[in-house]
């Protein structure tokens, strides 16, 4: 499924390393089930935050957007837990983790 | 105080380990741990801690055993239907290890549960409000707190040693004012052994803290049993945190 024009899928570099101006996206656990067709890398640009990336996914991936809008979703930027308004820089790995509440 | 002959036999596989040994076993025997929630996580946690010779365990759960619990709550049998979980668990754990003390509260967490003093609290509950209450209690008492949760194929564990580290707590990671998500184990299910994985990790972490090898204050471990993946995340203290922030 094509992504909205504001998020461009990035070609995977042959080296396996992220190119410049790219952000790697990871949807952990059951979020992965809702993220089929989402490009693994997106183009970085100014003022990008996890909240803005979520909003950019809304049009083409409404079910994923709904899951990301649940309370207690965790976000990690390069393995550090951050908030929805954290600036996301070039070359970063951004992971979204669904809430896990049972016992 | 030294170990009895019977304790030497029972705990010999700890005593054989140089980094546990008699001193480590004595620390476990002298410790009293509160386990809140005797469901899918509380069962493996309490079995392993009882077997390991945690000298005192206090179990807290207001629920009774239901047929639908037996898919994952491995302490209980059909004979327990309708009986308080904490009471059934106490009988099983004492049968496993008569060497320890097991106290119970057959009601939900209350000030009475938190009145005695504990060396460590294990959070095996299924709701954020109780988790946050335990986090605040452990922070105030400066005692370690081992929290886990599970849902579907996934589990999460985070532990804090408030005796050693004064900032960064559960509320810095998950705001206590957050709403509960729609999904929980009752309405969306959970794979039994995922609770075993996370409960075993909680018991391992509790033993690691009590014996003195814990350095992962506030680190979050995530497990996805469907893909077999683990993820370890770090967290930062929130200076404005209501619980641990500078005021
Ligand atoms: Zn805090």
Of B41, B153, B178, the CB nearest to A103: B41
Tokens of B3: 């170990």
Closest CA to A13 of A24, A3, A1, A29: A24
> Are the beta carbons of B198 and A101 closer than 8 angstroms?
no
% of chain B beyond a pLDDT of 90: 94
> Are the beta carbons of B236 and B244 closer than 8 angstroms?
no
Specify the length of chain A in residues: 103
User: How far is A3 from A88, CA to CA, in rounded Å?
Assistant: 19
Backbone angles phi, psi at B28, to 5 degrees: -65, -45
Residues of chain A in Cβ contact (below 8 Å) with chain B: 28-30, 32, 70-72, 74, 76, 79-81, 95, 97-103
Whole-number Å distance, alpha carbon A87 to ligand 1 midpoint, is 22
CB contact under 8 A, B181 and A102: no
Give residue limits of the domains in chain A.
Answer: 25-97
To the query of whether residue B88 is one of the catalytic residues in this protein, the response is: no
Contacts of A70 in chain B (CB under 8 A): 181-183
> Are the beta carbons of B236 and B169 closer than 8 angstroms?
no
CB contact under 8 A, A102 and B229: no
Chain A nearest-CA residue for B182: A70
CB contact under 8 A, B233 and A30: no
What is the tens place of the pLDDT at every residue in A34-50?
999 999 999 988 899 99
Whole-number Å distance, alpha carbon B170 to ligand 1 midpoint, is 6
What pTM was estimated for this model as a whole? 0.93
Alpha helices in chain A (DSSP H): 31-34, 50-57, 62-68
CB contact under 8 A, A98 and B154: yes
Phi-psi sector, B212: left (phi>0), alpha (psi -120 to 50), beta: left
Domains and CATH numbers, chain B: 31-234 (3.40.50.720)
**Concatenated DSSP letters for B87-133?**
HHHHHHHHHH-TTSEEEEE-SSS-TTTTSS--SEEEE--SSHHHHHH
Q: Looking at the domain that runs over A25-97, which CATH code has it been given?
A: 3.10.20.30
Residues 6+ apart with CB under 8 A from A74: A81, A96, A97, A99, B173, B174, B220, B233
User: How far is B172 from B62, CA to CA, in rounded Å?
Assistant: 28
Contacts of B216 in chain A (CB under 8 A): none
- Best B35, B128, B154, B232 residue to mutate vs chain A (most A CBs within 10 Å): B154
> Is pLDDT of B119 > 80?
yes
What is the tens place of the pLDDT at every residue in B199-219?
999 999 999 999 999 999 999
> Is pLDDT of B87 > 60?
yes
ipTM of the complex: 0.92
What number is the average pLDDT over the span B5-21?
A: 98
Contacts of B128 in chain A (CB under 8 A): 72, 101
| pLDDT confidence tier of residue A16, bands split at 50, 70 and 90 | very low
User: How far is A12 from A35, CA to CA, in rounded Å?
Assistant: 18
> Are the beta carbons of B150 and B173 closer than 8 angstroms?
no
CB contact under 8 A, A102 and B153: no
- Position B181 scores a pLDDT of 85
CA angle (A62 as vertex; A68, B182 as ends), nearest 5: 45
Alpha helices in A40-90 (DSSP H): 50-57, 62-68
CA distance A3 to chain B (A): 25
User: How far is B12 from A57, CA to CA, in rounded Å?
Assistant: 56
Chain A nearest-CA residue for B227: A29
User: How far is A36 from A70, CA to CA, in rounded Å?
Assistant: 19
CB contact under 8 A, B185 and A98: no
Chain A nearest-CA residue for B225: A29
């Amino acid at each position: 499924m094509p992504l909205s024009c504001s998020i461009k899928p990035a070609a995977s570099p042959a080296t396996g390393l992220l190119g410049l101006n790219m952000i790697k996206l990871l949807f952990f656990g059951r979020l992965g089930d809702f993220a089929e067709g989402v490009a693994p890398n997106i183009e970085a640009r100014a003022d990008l935050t996890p909240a803005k990336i979520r909003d950019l996914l809304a049009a083409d991936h409404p079910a994923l957007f709904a899951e990301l809008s649940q309370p207690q979703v965790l976000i990690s930027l390069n393995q550090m837990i951050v908030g929805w308004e954290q600036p996301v820089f070039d070359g970063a790995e951004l992971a979204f983790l669904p809430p896990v509440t049972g016992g | 105080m030294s170990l009895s002959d019977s304790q030497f036999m029972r705990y010999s596989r700890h005593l054989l380990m140089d980094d546990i040994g008699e001193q480590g076993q004595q620390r476990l025997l002298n410790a009293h741990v509160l386990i809140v929630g005797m469901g899918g996580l509380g069962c493996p946690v309490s079995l392993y801690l009882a077997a390991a010779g945690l000298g005192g365990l206090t179990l807290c759960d207001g629920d009774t055993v239901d047929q639908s619990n037996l898919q994952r709550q491995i302490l209980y049998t059909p004979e327990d239907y309708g009986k308080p979980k904490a009471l059934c668990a106490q009988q099983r754990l004492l049968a496993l290890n008569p060497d320890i003390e097991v106290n119970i509260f057959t009601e939900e967490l209350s000030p009475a549960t938190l009145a005695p003093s504990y060396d460590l609290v294990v959070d095996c509950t299924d709701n954020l409000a109780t988790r946050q209450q335990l986090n605040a209690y452990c922070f105030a008492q400066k005692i370690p707190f081992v929290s886990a949760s599970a849902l579907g194929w996934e589990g999460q564990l985070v532990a804090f040693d408030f005796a050693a580290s004064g900032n960064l707590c559960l509320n810095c990671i998950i705001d206590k004012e957050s709403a509960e998500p729609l999904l929980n184990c009752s309405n969306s299910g959970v794979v039994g052994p995922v609770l075993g994985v996370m409960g075993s990790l909680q018991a391992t972490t509790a033993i690691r803290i009590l014996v003195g090898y814990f350095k992962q204050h506030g680190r979050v471990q995530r497990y996805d049993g469907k893909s077999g993946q683990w993820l370890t995340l770090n967290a930062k203290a929130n200076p404005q945190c209501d619980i641990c922030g500078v005021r």
